[in-house]
Structure 1
């Protein structure tokens, strides 16, 4: 299924994300369908955008791209967690993010970026499409190799209200993988999650994508991990 999702934007940083995709329960869950034109890693922000705390690159799917006009160029939306990492004092040096992207798609699309750290938030669509974790793990390694940044922060994927146990299992295995690979794992979604593994009230409008407030929570946790170094 392919649905073309384009979000209207108006106003400043306080804009809320446009219409989000609904969670589809049943034989399969299609998360963040419909690429709206992936952010091109060659369109990185100007060097003058570098902030005092350092630079980061990011690779992800709709959780990362969200309502951004041009993610890789730094034109971020209020529903992208990267907005709040930038607000915290870091500069986005480039990256790649696309709605509906699996880790395989990311691995096929990324290119080298010069930055201090790579933030990788990937796997929601793998979980949705039933991709075996071993394949996801291999794709994540390919992404890291292709981007060429040795300091890697791997963020947990947000809850999936239709299948909370699948997201929790993926995150547990992602934590183990990060330890094996020498990456830094951060459970950035911890404060989005209820005890039963679903979204806290107000953190998602569709049970899959964070709201702007949810993105702020994600971004704050990721920025804290970057500060720890």
Structure 2
């Protein structure tokens, strides 16, 4: 995890990217974040479709007009999971959220699977992984869904090694807890931990194309169960 000086720099950079953004919670409206399009994609629920709940930060909320209501943006990976035939049953996502904030905010959701993509802000703030792990456990316990997919965080170009270390620890945690680890971010990154061309607009958040890659891999993993 980052040292104190590195953590301050990362936190400042991530905060600057998300400054002024107020985003969706479980029951609330979302303001679009940086890179938002004028017309986010509103998706109607699919009758009898397998369902999922999603918990995350700006990488999940992205430019959604109202994430909790299923009014999803083109830069949210959840859009492409829904496009693949799944129904978003609920969840919680907010710009700048740490795993601690998620654990304090989530509510129970009735769905077939829970997808958690969390940790970028923990890495940026230098949160010890043991603390992140405890928060992730609290999230899963509160939401109350037995089929849990934890997803690797995307590249963090200011600290590629820290993102890689977090993902390795996350995979070990998933094995230990009986969750499914999905390295959906593998399709976004280069061998040196940066974003591939066209996969991000700022070195932290996936572009619409990057979100599509994330969503396709997550949907594939959901379908495997």
Bigger helix fraction: 2
Measure how far apart 1:39 and its partner are.
Answer: 2.1
1:29 to 2:10 alignment: yes
Partner of 1:210: 206
SS in 2 for 1:138: helix
- Between the aligned partners of 1:64 and 1:42, the Cα distance in structure 2 is 15
> 1:196 maps to what in 2?
192
Q: Deviations over 1:109-156 (max 9, x none)?
A: 000010000000000000000000000000000000111111100000
TM-score (norm 2): 0.85
Whole-Å separation in 1 of the counterparts to 2:204 and 2:121: 10
Q: Secondary structure at the match of 2:18?
A: coil
Residue number in structure 2 paired with 1:40: 26
Residue pairs, 1:1-229, within 5 angstroms: 27-30=8-11, 31=14, 33-34=18-19, 35-41=21-27, 49-229=45-225
Deviations 1:173-208 (A, max 9, x none): 000000000000000000101000110011011100
Structure 1 unpaired stretches of 5+: 1-24
**Structure 2 unaligned regions, length at least 5:** 1-5, 30-43
Residues of 1 paired with 2:207 and 2:47: CA distance?
A: 26
Query: How many residue pairs get matched?
Result: 201
SS of 2:141's equivalent in the other structure is helix
Moved over 3 A (4+): 32-35, 50-53
- The whole-number CA distance in structure 2 between the counterparts of 1:72 and 1:26 is 31
Give the CA RMSD over aligned residues. 1.7
Q: CA deviation at 1:50?
A: 4.0
